[in-house]
Structure 1
Amino acid sequence: MGDTRQMEPIYEKSFQIRSYEVDMAGRVRPTALLNYLQEAAGDHARLLGVAVRDLIPRGFTWVLSRMHLRLLGTASSREELRVRTWPSSREGRFSCREFEVTAADGRPMALASASFAVLDLATRRPVVIGERLPSYPLLPRRAVEDDFATLPRLAEAETELSFRVGWGELDINRHVNNVVYAAWALETVPAAVAQKCLLADLEIGYRAEALYGETVVARCRQESGGESPVFIHQIVRAGDGVELTRLVSRWRRAG
C-alpha cells in the first residue's frame, strides 16, 4: 500500500465548471459541487491505496454515511474551482473526510464534512475500518463542525415526487450514487423558493440503498419560511416504505 510517511494528508484538485453543470441563472448547481467532492475524495483515496477499486477485490467498499455541505458563494460556467480535501478521523466503523472549495481568485465557495463507512459486500454491513484498511495520514481539523447527530424524520409530507431508478443513476457499487439522492430531494422544493433563493446548507443522512428498477418517493415539508426557508426531506422506497435517506435543506434569498 506504500509508505504512509510519503502520503500527503491534503489533496487538491481543480475543476472547470461545465455549461451543463449550471442552473437557469448560470450558477453552478449544488449537485455539481457534490460530484466534485466525490471525485476529489476518490482521487485522494486512490493515492492512499484505499480507493473503491482497491477494496472491491478484497470484498469491501466505501459507502457514504453522512454529508454536510455549506455553500458560501456562487460561480458560473467556465470558472475554475479548487477542492482541498483530507481525512480528519478514523474511529471504529467510520472515517470523516473534510472539504474546502475556493474559486480561482480565492473566494470561498463551499465547506463540507462527510462520514464514510467500509461495507462488507457479502453481508452489506459496515466493518471496523482499522481491522480492514491500512493506516493513512489524518489531519484532525474539521471543515464543518458537526457531530452527525440523527437528522429529523419527516412525519407528514407536503410534497411528494416519484422516481424510477435507471442505469444512469448507479455507481460502481451497483446502487444509486449518493449525489442522486440530493438531486431527488431538491426537486421537491417549491418553485417559488428554488427560483428566488440559493441553497445555503444541506445535510444528508444515508440509511439504505436503492437499486436498479426500484421506484423511490422523495417527500418534503417546509419547517420555516420567510427569508431563510428550511425544509425536511425524506426519500423512501415505494415498494416497502423503507427509508433510504433523510435530508435538511436551508435556503437564503438570492442577490
Structure 2
Amino acid sequence: MPISPNFTSILEQEYEINFLQCYPNGLLKYTDLCNIFQITAGIHADLGGISFSDMQEHHQAWVMSKMRLEIISLPKWKEKVTVKTWIKSLENSRSTRCLELYRGDEKLAGCETYWAVLNTQIRRPENLALPHEHFIKYPEHIATEKSVQRINLDVPFEKVLNYKVQLSDLDIVNHANNVKYLEWCLNTMDRKFVLK
C-alpha cells in the first residue's frame, strides 16, 4: 500500500474503552492496554507503507520482541483515550517504537517496544525490505523512564504450570504474541493483586 496522504511521523489515535476490555472493577485490562498499543502501532505502519500486507510482499512481518510498560493509572469503561506513537529508531532488522496513553492532557501510561523484522518463510530476522526514510525518527523523544530491556532470568522462580499453546493464542503470523504471554502470567497471579 502506498504511503497515505494522512501519514504523519507521530500518530495520535483515539479510542473509547469498551466493556470487553475491562476487568470486573471497570478498569482497562493490562492485556487490552497492550493490544491497544499494538493496534495503534499497526495503524501507524499501515499509514506509512510498512504494514503487514506491504511486508508480506517480501515475506516479512514485524514481530515484537520486548516491551517496557510504565503505568501511572488505567482508564475506565466508556472513557475516551488517545494513544500517541512514534518511531525512536529503525535500522536494518530492528526498530524501537514509543507509545503513550492519554486521557485528555493527562498521561496514563508510557510504553517502549522493540520490534524485529522476521522473514515468515524461513522464520529468521532480516533487514526491512521497504523504504522508511519518510518516517522521522525521534531518538530523544522517550515515553518511559527506563528503556526496554531483556527480562532478567537469573533470579529464583517457581514453575506454576505447564501450558500448551492453543489455536486461539496464535496470530496472523502463526505465533503467540507478547500479549498472550502476559495474559498467561496474569492468569496465574492472585486476582486481588491484579485488580488493585
TM-score when normalising by structure 1: 0.69
- Structure 1: how far apart are the matches of 2:158 and 2:3? 53
Shift in Å, 1:146:
4.0
Q: Is the 8 A contact 1:9 1:139 kept in 2?
A: no
Q: Which residue is equivalent to 1:86?
A: 86
Q: Deviations over 1:187-240 (max 9, x none)?
A: 222345234x3xxxxxxxxxxxxxxxxxxxxxxxxxxxxxxxxxxxxxxxxxxx
Query: What does 1:40-55 align with in structure 2 at a 5 Å threshold?
Result: 40-55=40-55
Q: Is the 8 A contact 2:65 2:178 kept in 1?
A: no
Q: Which residue is equivalent to 2:60?
A: 60
CA RMSD across the alignment:
2.2
Q: Deviations over 1:155-203 (max 9, x none)?
A: 54335133332222211101113211111112222345234x3xxxxxx
Q: Which residue is equivalent to 1:126?
A: 125
Q: Is the 8 A contact 1:18 1:78 kept in 2?
A: yes
Q: Which residue is equivalent to 1:158?
A: 158
Q: Deviations over 1:19-77 (max 9, x none)?
A: 12111211111111111111111011011110111111211111001111111112211
- Structure 2: how far apart are the matches of 1:34 and 1:19? 16
Shift in Å, 1:154:
5.5
One-letter amino acid matched to 2:171:
D
Q: Deviations over 1:57-111 (max 9, x none)?
A: 21111100111111111221111111011111113321111101101x3221110
Closer/same/farther in 2, CA of residues 158 and 190 from structure 1, 3 Å limit: farther
- Structure 2: how far apart are the matches of 1:36 and 1:93? 24
Where does structure 2 lack aligned partners over 5 or more consecutive residues? none
Q: Which residue is equivalent to 2:99?
A: 99
- Structure 1: how far apart are the matches of 2:99 and 2:55? 23
- Structure 2: how far apart are the matches of 1:95 and 1:81? 25
Largest Rg, 1 or 2: 1
Decide which structure has greater strand share: 1
- Structure 2: how far apart are the matches of 1:22 and 1:111? 19
Identity of aligned residues (%): 29
One-letter amino acid matched to 1:119:
L
- Structure 2: how far apart are the matches of 1:144 and 1:102? 14
1:189 correspondence with 2:189: yes
Q: Is the 8 A contact 2:22 2:28 kept in 1?
A: yes
- Structure 2: how far apart are the matches of 1:166 and 1:121? 20
- Tell which has more relative contact order, 1 or 2 (C-alpha 8 A, sep 6+): 2
Query: What does 1:135-174 align with in structure 2 at a 5 Å threshold?
Result: 135=132, 136-137=134-135, 138-140=137-139, 141-153=141-153, 156-174=156-174
- Structure 2: how far apart are the matches of 1:13 and 1:192? 32
Q: Is the 8 A contact 1:12 1:85 kept in 2?
A: yes
One-letter amino acid matched to 2:117:
V
1:109 correspondence with 2:108: yes
One-letter amino acid matched to 2:124:
R
Q: Is the 8 A contact 2:59 2:121 kept in 1?
A: yes
Count of aligned pairs: 193
TM-score when normalising by structure 2: 0.88
